[in-house]
Structure 1
Protein backbone atom coordinates (compact mmCIF):
# COMPACT_ATOMS: atom_id res chain seq x y z
CA UNK A 1 0.00 0.00 0.00
CA UNK A 2 2.81 2.43 0.86
CA UNK A 3 4.54 1.60 -2.43
CA UNK A 4 1.32 2.32 -4.30
CA UNK A 5 0.91 5.59 -2.41
CA UNK A 6 4.47 6.61 -3.33
CA UNK A 7 3.95 5.63 -6.96
CA UNK A 8 0.73 7.63 -7.29
CA UNK A 9 2.32 10.64 -5.60
CA UNK A 10 5.20 10.53 -8.08
CA UNK A 11 2.67 10.23 -10.89
CA UNK A 12 0.92 13.34 -9.59
CA UNK A 13 4.20 15.28 -9.50
CA UNK A 14 5.19 14.07 -12.99
CA UNK A 15 1.76 14.94 -14.37
CA UNK A 16 2.02 18.43 -12.87
CA UNK A 17 5.52 18.92 -14.27
CA UNK A 18 4.37 17.90 -17.76
CA UNK A 19 1.41 20.22 -17.67
CA UNK A 20 3.55 23.04 -16.30
CA UNK A 21 5.02 23.55 -19.78
CA UNK A 22 1.70 24.79 -21.11
CA UNK A 23 1.06 26.70 -17.90
CA UNK A 24 4.32 28.64 -18.18
CA UNK A 25 3.51 29.55 -21.78
CA UNK A 26 0.12 30.88 -20.72
CA UNK A 27 1.63 32.83 -17.83
CA UNK A 28 4.20 34.38 -20.17
CA UNK A 29 1.33 35.65 -22.29
CA UNK A 30 -0.36 37.10 -19.19
CA UNK A 31 2.15 37.99 -16.49
CA UNK A 32 -0.57 39.72 -14.46
CA UNK A 33 -2.30 36.42 -13.65
CA UNK A 34 -2.14 36.17 -9.86
CA UNK A 35 -4.57 33.30 -9.47
CA UNK A 36 -7.96 33.18 -7.81
CA UNK A 37 -9.09 32.70 -4.23
CA UNK A 38 -12.28 30.62 -4.06
CA UNK A 39 -14.57 30.90 -1.03
CA UNK A 40 -18.06 29.44 -0.79
CA UNK A 41 -20.50 28.17 1.82
CA UNK A 42 -23.49 25.87 1.38
CA UNK A 43 -26.41 24.67 3.49
CA UNK A 44 -28.03 21.30 2.71
CA UNK A 45 -30.97 19.45 4.23
CA UNK A 46 -28.67 16.38 4.43
CA UNK A 47 -25.01 15.53 3.88
CA UNK A 48 -25.13 12.91 1.12
CA UNK A 49 -21.91 11.77 -0.52
CA UNK A 50 -21.65 8.92 -3.01
CA UNK A 51 -25.08 7.68 -1.97
CA UNK A 52 -24.42 7.66 1.79
CA UNK A 53 -26.39 9.87 4.21
CA UNK A 54 -24.00 11.02 6.95
CA UNK A 55 -25.47 11.88 10.38
CA UNK A 56 -29.00 12.09 8.88
CA UNK A 57 -29.04 15.81 9.74
CA UNK A 58 -28.86 19.22 8.02
CA UNK A 59 -25.33 20.20 7.09
CA UNK A 60 -23.35 23.37 6.50
CA UNK A 61 -20.35 23.00 4.19
CA UNK A 62 -17.60 25.37 3.13
CA UNK A 63 -14.82 25.55 0.56
CA UNK A 64 -11.62 27.60 0.71
CA UNK A 65 -9.21 27.20 -2.19
CA UNK A 66 -6.59 28.87 -4.35
CA UNK A 67 -6.42 28.28 -8.09
CA UNK A 68 -3.83 29.37 -10.64
CA UNK A 69 -3.36 28.01 -14.12
CA UNK A 70 -4.22 24.33 -13.96
CA UNK A 71 -3.36 23.94 -10.29
CA UNK A 72 -5.76 24.18 -7.35
CA UNK A 73 -5.23 23.53 -3.66
CA UNK A 74 -7.87 23.85 -1.01
CA UNK A 75 -9.83 22.55 1.92
CA UNK A 76 -13.46 21.50 2.24
CA UNK A 77 -15.35 20.95 5.47
CA UNK A 78 -18.80 19.84 6.65
CA UNK A 79 -20.52 20.23 10.02
CA UNK A 80 -23.92 19.03 11.20
CA UNK A 81 -26.34 21.79 12.16
CA UNK A 82 -27.98 19.83 14.97
CA UNK A 83 -24.72 19.40 16.92
CA UNK A 84 -24.82 15.60 16.72
CA UNK A 85 -21.29 14.19 16.38
CA UNK A 86 -22.43 10.68 15.48
CA UNK A 87 -22.57 9.41 11.92
CA UNK A 88 -19.41 11.11 10.62
CA UNK A 89 -21.27 14.21 9.48
CA UNK A 90 -18.34 16.38 10.61
CA UNK A 91 -15.50 16.09 8.13
CA UNK A 92 -12.58 17.99 6.69
CA UNK A 93 -10.65 17.48 3.46
CA UNK A 94 -7.41 18.92 2.11
CA UNK A 95 -6.81 18.41 -1.59
CA UNK A 96 -4.57 19.30 -4.51
CA UNK A 97 -5.66 19.09 -8.16
CA UNK A 98 -3.90 19.60 -11.45
CA UNK A 99 -5.86 19.96 -14.68
CA UNK A 100 -4.36 19.37 -18.11
CA UNK A 101 -6.71 19.87 -21.03
CA UNK A 102 -9.66 17.50 -20.38
CA UNK A 103 -7.91 15.50 -17.66
CA UNK A 104 -7.40 16.21 -13.98
CA UNK A 105 -5.67 14.32 -11.20
CA UNK A 106 -6.41 14.89 -7.51
CA UNK A 107 -4.88 13.84 -4.22
CA UNK A 108 -7.50 14.21 -1.46
CA UNK A 109 -6.98 13.72 2.29
CA UNK A 110 -10.27 12.90 4.07
CA UNK A 111 -10.70 13.08 7.84
CA UNK A 112 -14.00 11.99 9.41
CA UNK A 113 -14.44 13.18 13.00
CA UNK A 114 -15.33 10.56 15.61
CA UNK A 115 -18.12 11.27 18.10
CA UNK A 116 -15.59 11.01 20.97
CA UNK A 117 -13.22 13.99 20.86
CA UNK A 118 -10.27 12.09 22.35
CA UNK A 119 -10.20 9.84 19.28
CA UNK A 120 -9.77 12.74 16.87
CA UNK A 121 -6.00 12.92 16.49
CA UNK A 122 -5.81 14.80 13.20
CA UNK A 123 -2.02 14.87 13.08
CA UNK A 124 -1.64 11.09 13.42
CA UNK A 125 -0.48 9.68 10.08
CA UNK A 126 1.06 6.48 11.44
CA UNK A 127 -0.42 3.02 11.88
CA UNK A 128 -3.35 4.39 13.91
CA UNK A 129 -4.30 7.13 11.46
CA UNK A 130 -7.96 7.77 10.69
CA UNK A 131 -7.13 9.66 7.50
CA UNK A 132 -8.05 8.35 4.07
CA UNK A 133 -5.86 9.61 1.24
CA UNK A 134 -7.56 9.08 -2.11
CA UNK A 135 -6.20 9.55 -5.61
CA UNK A 136 -8.69 10.48 -8.33
CA UNK A 137 -8.46 10.70 -12.09
CA UNK A 138 -11.15 12.54 -14.04
CA UNK A 139 -11.97 13.22 -17.67
CA UNK A 140 -14.32 16.11 -18.54
CA UNK A 141 -16.20 16.54 -21.82
CA UNK A 142 -18.79 19.13 -22.77
CA UNK A 143 -21.59 16.57 -22.35
CA UNK A 144 -20.21 14.09 -19.78
CA UNK A 145 -17.48 13.26 -17.29
CA UNK A 146 -15.80 10.08 -16.07
CA UNK A 147 -14.09 9.71 -12.71
CA UNK A 148 -12.35 7.02 -10.70
CA UNK A 149 -10.94 7.10 -7.17
CA UNK A 150 -8.81 4.73 -5.13
CA UNK A 151 -7.60 4.92 -1.52
CA UNK A 152 -3.82 5.22 -1.55
CA UNK A 153 -3.16 5.39 2.17
CA UNK A 154 -4.94 4.66 5.44
CA UNK A 155 -4.69 2.19 8.33
CA UNK A 156 -3.68 -1.33 7.38
CA UNK A 157 -6.79 -2.72 9.12
CA UNK A 158 -9.16 -0.66 6.95
CA UNK A 159 -10.57 -2.52 3.98
CA UNK A 160 -10.21 -0.13 1.06
CA UNK A 161 -9.73 -2.49 -1.87
CA UNK A 162 -12.74 -1.14 -3.72
CA UNK A 163 -12.27 1.19 -6.66
CA UNK A 164 -14.86 3.96 -6.89
CA UNK A 165 -16.20 4.65 -10.40
CA UNK A 166 -18.54 7.47 -11.42
CA UNK A 167 -19.98 8.87 -14.63
CA UNK A 168 -22.13 11.91 -15.22
CA UNK A 169 -24.08 13.15 -18.25
CA UNK A 170 -25.26 16.75 -18.73
CA UNK A 171 -28.78 16.90 -20.16
CA UNK A 172 -28.50 20.70 -20.39
CA UNK A 173 -26.97 23.59 -18.46
CA UNK A 174 -29.18 22.90 -15.44
CA UNK A 175 -29.66 19.13 -15.17
CA UNK A 176 -27.31 16.16 -15.05
CA UNK A 177 -27.61 12.45 -14.29
CA UNK A 178 -24.95 10.66 -12.27
CA UNK A 179 -24.21 7.01 -11.50
CA UNK A 180 -21.46 5.65 -9.26
CA UNK A 181 -20.37 2.55 -7.41
CA UNK A 182 -17.54 0.57 -5.87
CA UNK A 183 -15.96 -2.61 -7.23
CA UNK A 184 -15.71 -4.15 -3.73
CA UNK A 185 -15.79 -3.14 -0.05
CA UNK A 186 -14.44 0.29 0.80
CA UNK A 187 -14.22 1.88 4.26
CA UNK A 188 -13.84 5.33 2.71
CA UNK A 189 -17.13 4.92 0.87
CA UNK A 190 -18.79 3.20 3.87
CA UNK A 191 -19.63 0.14 1.77
CA UNK A 192 -19.29 -3.42 3.12
CA UNK A 193 -19.51 -4.94 -0.38
CA UNK A 194 -19.26 -3.70 -3.92
CA UNK A 195 -22.23 -2.43 -5.89
CA UNK A 196 -23.93 0.62 -7.35
CA UNK A 197 -23.98 3.18 -4.56
CA UNK A 198 -25.74 6.10 -6.20
CA UNK A 199 -27.90 6.90 -9.21
CA UNK A 200 -29.25 10.42 -9.25
CA UNK A 201 -30.60 13.34 -11.18
CA UNK A 202 -29.27 16.75 -10.15
CA UNK A 203 -30.58 20.21 -10.93
CA UNK A 204 -29.18 23.66 -10.28
CA UNK A 205 -30.25 27.24 -10.87
CA UNK A 206 -28.54 30.55 -10.21
CA UNK A 207 -30.72 33.16 -8.57
CA UNK A 208 -29.39 36.69 -9.11
CA UNK A 209 -30.17 38.84 -6.06
CA UNK A 210 -28.20 41.93 -7.09
CA UNK A 211 -25.78 42.62 -9.96
CA UNK A 212 -22.93 41.50 -7.70
CA UNK A 213 -24.57 38.82 -5.54
CA UNK A 214 -26.28 35.56 -6.47
CA UNK A 215 -27.33 32.28 -4.89
CA UNK A 216 -26.88 28.84 -6.42
CA UNK A 217 -29.88 26.60 -5.76
CA UNK A 218 -29.38 22.81 -6.00
CA UNK A 219 -31.65 19.83 -5.74
CA UNK A 220 -31.26 16.12 -6.39
CA UNK A 221 -33.12 12.83 -6.23
CA UNK A 222 -30.65 10.05 -5.46
CA UNK A 223 -31.24 6.31 -5.31
CA UNK A 224 -28.81 4.04 -3.42
CA UNK A 225 -29.19 0.48 -4.80
CA UNK A 226 -26.46 -0.82 -2.47
CA UNK A 227 -28.04 0.71 0.64
CA UNK A 228 -28.35 -2.61 2.49
CA UNK A 229 -24.57 -2.92 2.38
CA UNK A 230 -23.81 0.50 3.83
CA UNK A 231 -21.66 0.09 6.95
CA UNK A 232 -23.76 -0.49 10.07
CA UNK A 233 -22.65 2.59 12.04
CA UNK A 234 -24.75 4.65 14.43
CA UNK A 235 -25.83 7.83 12.69
CA UNK A 236 -25.04 6.64 9.15
CA UNK A 237 -28.42 6.15 7.49
CA UNK A 238 -29.28 3.14 5.33
CA UNK A 239 -31.80 4.77 3.01
CA UNK A 240 -32.68 3.46 -0.47
CA UNK A 241 -33.53 6.93 -1.77
CA UNK A 242 -32.65 10.51 -0.84
CA UNK A 243 -33.97 13.95 -1.69
CA UNK A 244 -31.36 16.68 -1.47
CA UNK A 245 -31.87 20.42 -1.51
CA UNK A 246 -29.23 23.04 -0.88
CA UNK A 247 -28.15 26.61 -1.41
CA UNK A 248 -24.63 27.95 -2.04
CA UNK A 249 -23.61 31.55 -1.49
Structure 2
Protein backbone atom coordinates (compact mmCIF):
# COMPACT_ATOMS: atom_id res chain seq x y z
CA UNK A 1 0.00 0.00 0.00
CA UNK A 2 1.08 3.53 -0.68
CA UNK A 3 0.64 5.58 2.34
CA UNK A 4 1.87 7.43 2.06
CA UNK A 5 -1.29 5.41 1.08
CA UNK A 6 -1.03 1.74 0.46
CA UNK A 7 -4.43 0.96 -0.69
CA UNK A 8 -2.07 -5.90 1.48
CA UNK A 9 -3.99 -8.16 0.18
CA UNK A 10 -6.61 -10.41 0.76
CA UNK A 11 -5.33 -13.61 -0.37
CA UNK A 12 -2.49 -12.19 1.65
CA UNK A 13 0.55 -13.55 -0.06
CA UNK A 14 2.58 -12.74 -3.11
CA UNK A 15 0.63 -13.83 -6.18
CA UNK A 16 -2.17 -15.16 -3.99
CA UNK A 17 -4.60 -17.41 -5.77
CA UNK A 18 -7.75 -15.30 -5.30
CA UNK A 19 -9.29 -17.72 -2.84
CA UNK A 20 -9.12 -20.60 -5.27
CA UNK A 21 -8.27 -23.13 -2.54
CA UNK A 22 -10.88 -23.86 0.12
CA UNK A 23 -9.70 -23.17 3.66
CA UNK A 24 -10.29 -25.66 6.47
CA UNK A 25 -13.13 -24.78 8.82
CA UNK A 26 -12.40 -23.12 12.15
CA UNK A 27 -9.39 -21.08 13.23
CA UNK A 28 -6.12 -20.77 11.35
CA UNK A 29 -2.96 -18.93 12.41
CA UNK A 30 0.39 -18.51 10.70
CA UNK A 31 3.12 -16.13 9.65
CA UNK A 32 5.32 -15.37 6.67
CA UNK A 33 8.86 -14.01 6.75
CA UNK A 34 9.70 -12.08 3.57
CA UNK A 35 12.94 -10.56 2.29
CA UNK A 36 10.88 -7.51 1.27
CA UNK A 37 7.19 -6.68 1.20
CA UNK A 38 6.15 -6.21 -2.43
CA UNK A 39 2.43 -5.90 -3.09
CA UNK A 40 0.85 -5.35 -6.50
CA UNK A 41 4.20 -4.32 -7.94
CA UNK A 42 5.30 -1.86 -5.24
CA UNK A 43 7.80 -2.32 -2.39
CA UNK A 44 6.53 -1.17 1.01
CA UNK A 45 8.90 -0.56 3.88
CA UNK A 46 12.19 -1.23 2.03
CA UNK A 47 12.94 -3.96 4.59
CA UNK A 48 12.51 -7.63 5.41
CA UNK A 49 9.21 -8.09 7.23
CA UNK A 50 7.27 -10.45 9.46
CA UNK A 51 3.66 -10.97 8.35
CA UNK A 52 1.33 -12.73 10.83
CA UNK A 53 -2.17 -13.86 9.96
CA UNK A 54 -5.27 -15.03 11.81
CA UNK A 55 -8.55 -16.23 10.29
CA UNK A 56 -11.74 -18.12 11.06
CA UNK A 57 -13.81 -20.04 8.51
CA UNK A 58 -17.45 -20.59 9.44
CA UNK A 59 -18.46 -24.27 9.19
CA UNK A 60 -20.89 -25.13 6.44
CA UNK A 61 -20.98 -21.72 4.72
CA UNK A 62 -17.28 -21.09 4.07
CA UNK A 63 -17.33 -17.38 4.98
CA UNK A 64 -13.90 -16.29 6.17
CA UNK A 65 -13.10 -13.42 8.54
CA UNK A 66 -9.51 -12.60 9.28
CA UNK A 67 -6.66 -10.27 10.05
CA UNK A 68 -3.25 -9.92 8.41
CA UNK A 69 -0.30 -7.71 9.24
CA UNK A 70 3.13 -6.67 8.00
CA UNK A 71 5.86 -5.38 10.30
CA UNK A 72 9.11 -4.14 8.80
CA UNK A 73 12.26 -5.28 10.58
CA UNK A 74 14.32 -2.22 9.61
CA UNK A 75 13.41 1.47 9.64
CA UNK A 76 12.71 3.41 6.46
CA UNK A 77 13.70 6.96 7.33
CA UNK A 78 12.74 7.35 10.97
CA UNK A 79 9.78 4.94 10.95
CA UNK A 80 9.14 1.24 10.52
CA UNK A 81 6.42 0.30 8.07
CA UNK A 82 3.41 -1.25 9.79
CA UNK A 83 0.16 -2.51 8.34
CA UNK A 84 -2.85 -4.28 9.88
CA UNK A 85 -5.66 -5.44 7.58
CA UNK A 86 -9.08 -6.86 8.41
CA UNK A 87 -11.17 -8.72 5.87
CA UNK A 88 -14.24 -10.82 5.23
CA UNK A 89 -14.60 -13.13 2.23
CA UNK A 90 -17.85 -14.69 1.01
CA UNK A 91 -17.48 -17.60 -1.46
CA UNK A 92 -20.16 -18.07 -4.12
CA UNK A 93 -19.31 -20.98 -6.39
CA UNK A 94 -16.11 -20.15 -8.29
CA UNK A 95 -16.35 -16.52 -7.11
CA UNK A 96 -15.20 -14.91 -3.88
CA UNK A 97 -16.37 -11.49 -2.71
CA UNK A 98 -14.09 -9.68 -0.28
CA UNK A 99 -14.19 -6.50 1.77
CA UNK A 100 -10.81 -5.41 3.15
CA UNK A 101 -9.87 -2.64 5.56
CA UNK A 102 -6.23 -1.63 4.99
CA UNK A 103 -4.89 0.18 8.07
CA UNK A 104 -1.48 1.86 7.78
CA UNK A 105 -0.61 4.20 10.65
CA UNK A 106 1.90 6.95 9.81
CA UNK A 107 3.18 9.36 12.47
CA UNK A 108 0.31 10.92 14.42
CA UNK A 109 -2.17 9.69 11.81
CA UNK A 110 -2.85 6.38 13.57
CA UNK A 111 -6.48 6.09 14.68
CA UNK A 112 -7.95 2.71 13.76
CA UNK A 113 -11.20 2.75 11.76
CA UNK A 114 -10.72 6.38 10.73
CA UNK A 115 -12.07 6.43 7.17
CA UNK A 116 -11.79 10.19 6.69
CA UNK A 117 -9.98 11.60 3.65
CA UNK A 118 -6.79 12.08 5.69
CA UNK A 119 -7.14 8.98 7.88
CA UNK A 120 -4.94 5.84 7.86
CA UNK A 121 -7.61 3.45 6.51
CA UNK A 122 -8.68 2.44 3.02
CA UNK A 123 -11.67 0.18 2.36
CA UNK A 124 -11.49 -2.05 -0.72
CA UNK A 125 -14.16 -4.22 -2.35
CA UNK A 126 -12.98 -7.02 -4.61
CA UNK A 127 -14.22 -10.06 -6.48
CA UNK A 128 -12.10 -13.06 -7.38
CA UNK A 129 -12.79 -15.89 -9.82
CA UNK A 130 -10.93 -19.18 -10.17
CA UNK A 131 -11.15 -21.97 -12.73
CA UNK A 132 -8.61 -24.78 -12.72
CA UNK A 133 -5.21 -23.06 -12.97
CA UNK A 134 -6.56 -19.58 -13.77
CA UNK A 135 -7.34 -16.87 -11.24
CA UNK A 136 -8.84 -13.42 -11.87
CA UNK A 137 -9.22 -10.47 -9.50
CA UNK A 138 -10.91 -7.07 -9.77
CA UNK A 139 -10.73 -4.55 -6.90
CA UNK A 140 -11.74 -0.96 -6.20
CA UNK A 141 -11.17 1.33 -3.21
CA UNK A 142 -14.56 2.54 -2.01
CA UNK A 143 -13.89 4.55 1.19
CA UNK A 144 -11.20 6.12 3.32
CA UNK A 145 -8.04 7.96 2.37
CA UNK A 146 -8.15 7.06 -1.34
CA UNK A 147 -10.78 9.49 -2.60
CA UNK A 148 -9.88 8.70 -6.23
CA UNK A 149 -11.26 5.15 -5.93
CA UNK A 150 -8.21 3.41 -7.36
CA UNK A 151 -8.89 0.22 -9.30
CA UNK A 152 -6.76 -2.89 -9.78
CA UNK A 153 -7.16 -5.99 -11.97
CA UNK A 154 -5.00 -9.11 -11.96
CA UNK A 155 -4.71 -12.49 -13.66
CA UNK A 156 -2.66 -15.43 -12.39
CA UNK A 157 -1.98 -18.74 -14.09
CA UNK A 158 -0.33 -21.84 -12.63
CA UNK A 159 1.77 -23.22 -15.47
CA UNK A 160 3.96 -25.75 -13.65
CA UNK A 161 3.28 -28.46 -11.06
CA UNK A 162 5.92 -31.18 -10.86
CA UNK A 163 8.32 -32.76 -8.35
CA UNK A 164 6.89 -30.70 -5.50
CA UNK A 165 7.39 -27.39 -7.32
CA UNK A 166 4.56 -25.14 -8.49
CA UNK A 167 4.97 -22.01 -10.58
CA UNK A 168 2.55 -19.17 -11.33
CA UNK A 169 2.68 -16.21 -13.70
CA UNK A 170 0.97 -12.93 -12.85
CA UNK A 171 0.04 -9.74 -14.65
CA UNK A 172 -1.76 -6.87 -12.93
CA UNK A 173 -2.82 -3.34 -13.86
CA UNK A 174 -4.07 -0.39 -11.84
CA UNK A 175 -4.69 3.34 -11.91
CA UNK A 176 -4.46 6.36 -9.56
CA UNK A 177 -2.41 5.38 -6.48
CA UNK A 178 -0.94 2.32 -8.20
CA UNK A 179 0.91 4.37 -10.82
CA UNK A 180 3.76 6.83 -10.40
CA UNK A 181 4.16 10.43 -11.54
CA UNK A 182 1.37 12.41 -13.16
CA UNK A 183 -0.09 9.46 -15.04
CA UNK A 184 -3.32 8.40 -13.32
CA UNK A 185 -4.47 6.19 -16.20
CA UNK A 186 -4.67 2.39 -16.13
CA UNK A 187 -1.18 0.94 -16.49
CA UNK A 188 0.46 -2.47 -16.07
CA UNK A 189 2.14 -2.34 -12.66
CA UNK A 190 2.75 -5.97 -11.70
CA UNK A 191 4.24 -8.81 -13.75
CA UNK A 192 6.36 -11.79 -12.87
CA UNK A 193 6.57 -15.42 -11.80
CA UNK A 194 6.36 -17.11 -8.41
CA UNK A 195 7.86 -20.56 -7.69
CA UNK A 196 6.94 -22.50 -4.54
CA UNK A 197 8.05 -25.70 -2.84
CA UNK A 198 6.87 -26.79 0.58
CA UNK A 199 6.77 -23.65 2.74
CA UNK A 200 9.14 -21.60 0.58
CA UNK A 201 8.38 -19.22 -2.30
CA UNK A 202 10.65 -17.15 -4.54
CA UNK A 203 9.12 -14.44 -6.76
CA UNK A 204 10.54 -12.27 -9.50
CA UNK A 205 8.43 -9.14 -9.93
CA UNK A 206 8.74 -6.39 -12.52
CA UNK A 207 6.68 -3.20 -12.49
CA UNK A 208 6.60 -1.77 -16.05
CA UNK A 209 5.18 1.53 -14.80
CA UNK A 210 7.98 2.28 -12.32
CA UNK A 211 10.53 0.21 -14.29
CA UNK A 212 11.64 -1.50 -11.07
CA UNK A 213 12.41 -5.17 -10.43
CA UNK A 214 12.19 -7.17 -7.21
CA UNK A 215 13.32 -10.65 -6.19
CA UNK A 216 11.46 -11.76 -3.06
CA UNK A 217 11.96 -14.83 -0.89
CA UNK A 218 9.20 -15.94 1.49
CA UNK A 219 9.08 -18.65 4.17
CA UNK A 220 5.65 -19.58 5.56
CA UNK A 221 4.97 -21.05 8.98
TM exceeding 0.5: yes
Q: CA RMSD for the aligned pairs?
A: 2.0
What is the distance in 1 between the residues matched to 2:91 and 2:201? Answer: 25
Q: For 1:197-218, what per-residue CA distance to the aligned partner results, in whole angstroms no more than 9, with x for missing partners? A: 1101001111xxxxxxxxx101
Equivalent residue number for residue 171 of structure 2: 179
Cα distance in 1 between the residues matched to 2:73 and 2:201: 18
* CA displacement 1:115-160 (0-9 Å, x = unmatched): x2x22111423454221000000101111011000001114xx443
SS at match of 1:160: coil
Q: Tell me the equivalent position of 1:233.
A: none
The answer on whether the counterparts of 2:201 and 2:217 sit within 8 Å (CA) in structure 1 is: yes
Q: Name the structure 2 match of 1:221.
A: 204
Seen in structure 2, the aligned counterparts of structure 1 residues 176 and 86 have a Cα distance that, compared at 3 Å, is farther
Q: 1:36 maps to what in 2?
A: 26
Q: What is aligned with 1:161?
A: 149
Provide the rounded CA distance (Å) in 2 between the counterparts of 1:181 and 1:87: 29
Superposition TM-score, scaled by structure 2 size? 0.79
Give the whole-Å Cα distance in 2 for the aligned partners of 1:227 and 1:221.
Answer: 15
**Are 2:215 and 1:243 equivalent residues in the alignment?**
yes
Gaps of 5+ in 2: 1-23
- The residue number in structure 1 matching 2:52 is 62
Structure 1 residues 70-125: Cα deviation after superposition (integer angstroms, max 9, x where no partner) = 200000000001244768731010000011110000000001121x2x22111423
Q: Distance in 2 between matches of 1:139 and 1:160?
A: 25
What CA deviation, in whole Å up to 9, does each residue of 1:5-26 have, x standing for no partner? xxxxxxxxxxxxxxxxxxxxxx
Counterpart of 1:148 in structure 2 is 138
Deviations 1:39-75 (A, max 9, x none): 1111000000000001111010011000123200000
Select the structure that is richer in strand: 2
1:92 is paired with a residue whose SS is strand
TM-score, length basis structure 1: 0.70
Change (3 A) 1:124 1:162: closer
Matched with 2:90 is: 98
Q: Which residue of 2 aligns with 1:198?
A: 190
In terms of Rg, which structure is larger?
1
Which structure: greater helix fraction?
1
**How many residue pairs align between the two structures?**
189
